[in-house]
Structure 1
């Protein structure tokens, strides 16, 4: 019965023609809205990926700019950033970033940021990237090669330290460690 009701409502007609997307864009422009502004309003909690809060230097011109480190009410920390190759040649040594845990390496299907950790020095605890039910890290995966003079967005998710912890250190194999301040999302 429910399926029939859904089908009927989907088949119903209300004599109004749907306006083409071009007309909708023109209407927004008439009201002084721009497409970019309309999209931002639908994603109010999206972090600003242009403001760099910390920079980690890696090998051979690889740089990771951290743009946000947010503790969610769901019990995890999400870290966003921009991975850059500032060198004039491709970078191939990304497999180390996956760490040494074989299940994570297999789960990620190759290179990932699965080897990253957050260290709470005050509580003397280390937090590894979260994994899904198939041992895939909740982090950017599939990074076999980084093209010269390129940039790409990356993310990592970790279990959240206690609310009393506001400072953590981010550690990624072959990168220098950096201290980060957690913000609540």
Structure 2
């Protein structure tokens, strides 16, 4: 097996593990919706704490896109739309949404989004360099790593054609419950403030 082939296989396995981790994290967020809604709306889809998951035609779990927490437009032609920032009982915060190429050209995701760690660099293009800032608590949160040091975020990003979009997620330690908003910082992109549900 060549070194190049081994690296590609490792990235595929890592991407599969990251997808499985996201599925488990999102499944943990689901909880039991049989109780009444505290706001009395009677609609689970309007409950901010439990965004609904849907299935795309490929059978994979995608984020609930019925709400938009922030839209970040970069001068590099990429647009991030953040749809969810959900705490789970395990002490994690999962941020998910869509990244889109809004330029008229094919774009390669910048390597700056990866972060600096050597294990992160082995996963290919990713969002491991994304951070959350709790201005009230004066803390910065980084994308979590698994036991092997790989980031719990979308990895293996490839070039996006004009108008093309892909779903993404990144998992962080959860800020304290009294923290209701955080700033999302993505290298080379403007900062945006989002509300945690």
Q: Are 1:84 and 2:100 counterparts?
A: yes
Worse overlay, 92-101 or 155-164: 92-101
Equivalent of 1:75, from 91, 98, 105?
Answer: 91
Equivalent of 2:154, from 122, 140, 144?
Answer: 140
> How many pairs does the alignment contain?
140
Stretches of 4+ aligned residues off by more than 6 angstroms: none
Q: Are 1:53 and 2:69 counterparts?
A: yes
Counterpart contact for 1:117–1:172, Cα < 8 Å: yes
Q: Are 1:180 and 2:180 counterparts?
A: no
Matches within 5 A, 1:1-185: 45-46=52-53, 47-106=63-122, 109-183=123-197
After TM superposition, give the deviation of residue 52 of structure 1 in Å. Answer: 1.8
Q: Give distance in 1, aligned partners of 2:135 and 2:128.
A: 20
- Give structure 2 stretches of 5+ with no counterpart: 1-50, 54-62
Q: Give distance in 2, aligned partners of 1:146 and 1:125.
A: 33
* Aligned-residue RMSD, C-alpha: 1.9
State TM-score, norm by structure 2. Answer: 0.66
SS of equivalent to 1:67 = strand
Q: Give the greater-gyration-radius structure (CA).
A: 1
- Give structure 1 stretches of 5+ with no counterpart: 1-43
